[in-house]
Amino acid sequence: IRDDAQAASRYIADYIIERINAFHPTPERPFVLGLPTGSSPVLVYQHLVQRHKAGQISFRNVVTFNMDEYVGIPRDHPESYHSFMYKHFFSHVDVSPDNINILNGNAPDLEAECQRYEDKIQRVGGIELFLGGIGPDGHIAFNEPGSSLRSRTRVKTLAYDTILANSRFFGNNLDQVPRMALTVGIQTVLDVSYTATYLPHKTSHFQAREVVIIITGPHKALALQRCIEGAVNHMWTLSCLQMHPHPMIVVDEDATLEL
């Protein structure tokens, strides 16, 4: 628990940098980082960029996988998650474009696109650290309430609450918010600690694989309470983290109001 969103974000950025630097990534053995969008991680990205500019971290040997993407809006739409990531992070650091993975919400065959993404995550040996946020209803990525805890990357219809919450990015016009998204599944997130078996030489890092979640603001307080004090259940999908061996949730004071 940190005092405010600034402090929580700085803590996470410092933590990610420490993990990447301790890993000593190389082109043959890159650090695989899962990344989110939304307003919550914006300050984390700012800190990462600042420290990159200060020469304290390189992303050259980091492979990234984004959690989700809207279906049906152009890649260069200002609110696509593709645009978001370049605006807040990728354009300001030395990550190689070849190492950036974002689901294609305009793929002709969306199910094939999801399968391709899952396969690629497994091919690189799984995700070392998955950073995430949550929606006010406790969803992680776009795993809306009711998502199967065994779900993998797939097409998901957005819940009304999510369309409402995200309409602020679309001029408060509900009609402009996409109705569907591609998202990693709950099992894809939980899996980050197990996929190392695909690359036996990575076994030594098996135990360190983890999920880090940022939750800030009073509007997320109920979700935080349900997800960590309530039972594991598919209506508050972040509660799945209770089953992960290495989760960390970093919050500000405001988010703890219901604990």
Interface residue with ligand GLP, options 134, 192, 223, 228 (CB under 6 A): 134
Place of tokens 């971290």: 57
Q: Is 249 in the site for ligand GLP (CB under 6 A)?
A: no
From 47, 52, 82, 139, the catalytic residue: 139
The H-or-E segment that residue 9 falls in is helix 5-23
Interface residue with ligand GLP, options 133, 138, 185, 247 (CB under 6 A): 133
Q: What stretches of 90-239 show up as alpha helix (H) in DSSP?
A: 110-123, 160-166, 186-190, 221-229
Mask 63-92, x = binds ligand GLP (CB under 6 A)?
----xx------------------------
Q: Confirm if 80 and 74 have CB atoms less than 8 A apart.
A: yes
Place of tokens 């209506």: 235
Nearest-angstrom CA–CA distance, 208 and 29: 15
Is-catalytic flag, 254? no
Sequence letter at residue 149: L
Interface residue with ligand GLP, options 135, 178, 185, 247 (CB under 6 A): 135
Q: Is 38 in the site for ligand GLP (CB under 6 A)?
A: yes
Q: Locate the DSSP E strands across the chain.
A: 31-35, 62-66, 68-70, 100-101, 129-132, 154-157, 180-183, 210-215, 247-251
Number of residue whose CB is nearest ligand GLP? 38
CB of 156 to ligand GLP, least distance (A): 10
Nearer to ligand GLP, 25 or 69 (CB): 69
CB of 133 to ligand GLP, least distance (A): 3
Residues of this chain that interact with ligand GLP (CB under 6 A) are: 36-40, 67-68, 133-135, 141-142, 162
Indicate which residues carry an active-site annotation.
68, 137, 139, 144
